[in-house]
Homo-oligomer: A and B are copies of this chain.
Amino acid sequence: MITIKDVARLSEVSISTVSRVINDSKPVSPEVRRRVLKVIEETGYKPNDVARSLVTRRSYLIGVIVNNLAQSYVADIVRGIEEIGKMYGYDILLCSSYSNKETQEKYLQLLDRKQAEGLFLVGNRFDSDVLELAKSLGKPSVFFTRDVNDSMNYISIDSSAAIYEMTNYLINEGHENIAFISDFENRTSVENDKISGYMKAIEDNELDYSKVFVAGSGKHNKAYELGKTISKDSVDFTAAVCSSDEIAIGIMNSFSDNGINVPNDVSVVGYGNIREGRFVRPELTTIGEPYYDVGAVGMRMLIKTIKGDRTQKGLMELPFTIEKRNSVKTIK
């Protein structure tokens, strides 16, 4: 392995000088610079970032803890984090915790020892011990979580407003009997927000009908079962607002298998804009959350904080979008 010492020796200067030309940190005479550069070129010397880290106390490493990369929204957030990180010279140390508290704590310690400069935690919910530990590390941190209870930096999306807007959209399309299919077992504050967005739309429009079904946390499968149950009784609503795309697709599939046509018999909308929504028939109308941007914006906050900007505090709220596709019928 060729080191700065070798370069110094071969170009007959001190290692200080070599360091200066590598980092362009101080003036070096053109002649000397050329000589050093030539040796670097010839030897293929590349500075050792570990050594550099030790003295500069900068690792340019960001620790990212996620629950499960297999969820496409998580992957999108990570893409956003990485892209912005790379723009500023930061690298990503990826840790998947699969929602396990002990694993999260282990990784937090690990990231601390690796001298990560910042932490980006992505998860539905964090145990208060984990939050505590993260805080105790004294590193700039950003959270993307559905369950905020703290004075931490975090990114969020106003899911209540999103459901409110979506429900209003259905009402404008002529629907009056609108049900909400909730992921109740897995209830978080976000789930409550969604339900309240739905209820508010019903109330604001003075509709008589409202009904909340509970699909359970199995997502697609549980929703499929619920759909079967609903199909057996007569369906008394013309539109269903679902708490997630997985639920919406599960419901659509079970309706389809039980002779209920979407959207002709019932309109169905989801939340999340997962990729699958474009592949199913009819294509699912849904609420899009800008996950890539969550990563990107969060990372910008994080980097600013690392750079000493203390104004980057508290909540950053990102806009949602209504993706209108073919699972809603206009009835008026």
Q: Which residues of A pack against B, CB within 8 Å? A: 46-51, 53-54, 59, 68-70, 72, 75-76, 78-79, 82-83, 86, 91-96, 109-110, 112-115, 220, 249, 253, 256-257, 275-276, 278-281
Contacts and interface: CB of A to CB of B under 8 A. Distances in A.
A179 to B, nearest CB: 21
Listed from nearest, the 3 A-B pairs whose CB atoms lie closest are: A276-B279, A49-B113, A69-B75
B92 A93 contact: yes
21 contacts: A46-B112, A48-B115, A49-B115, A50-B53, A50-B59, A50-B115, A54-B54, A68-B79, A69-B69, A69-B82, A70-B75, A72-B75, A82-B96, A86-B95, A91-B93, A91-B110, A275-B276, A276-B276, A276-B279, A280-B280, A280-B281
A220 B279 CA distance: 9
A69 B59 contact: no
A279 B249 contact: yes
Given A46-B109, A253-B281, A280-B279, A94 B70 contact: no
B50 A54 contact: yes
A275 B59 CA distance: 37
Chain A interface main SS type: helix
Contact of A78 (B72, B94, B249, B257): B94
Contacts of A276: 275-276, 279
A48 B95 CA distance: 19
B114 A91 contact: yes
A48 B113 contact: yes
A79 B54 contact: no
B94 A92 contact: yes
Contacts of A92: 93-94
Contacts of A279: 220, 249, 253, 276, 279-280
Nearest to A109: B46
A245 to B, nearest CB: 9
Given A93-B92, A96-B83, A276-B275, A114 B75 contact: no
Given A72-B72, A281-B281, 5 more contacts: A49-B113, A51-B54, A68-B79, A69-B69, A82-B96
Contact of A46 (B68, B70, B113): B113
A279 B75 CA distance: 20
A268 to B, nearest CB: 13
Nearest to A86: B95
A144 B140 CA distance: 35
A79 B72 contact: no
Contacts of A112: 46
A9 to B, nearest CB: 21
A47 B115 CA distance: 10
Contacts of A110: 91
A94 B96 contact: no
Nearest to A275: B276
A48 B53 CA distance: 11
A115 B78 CA distance: 23
Which of A49, A83, A93, A278 has its CB near the most chain B CB atoms (within 10 A)? A49
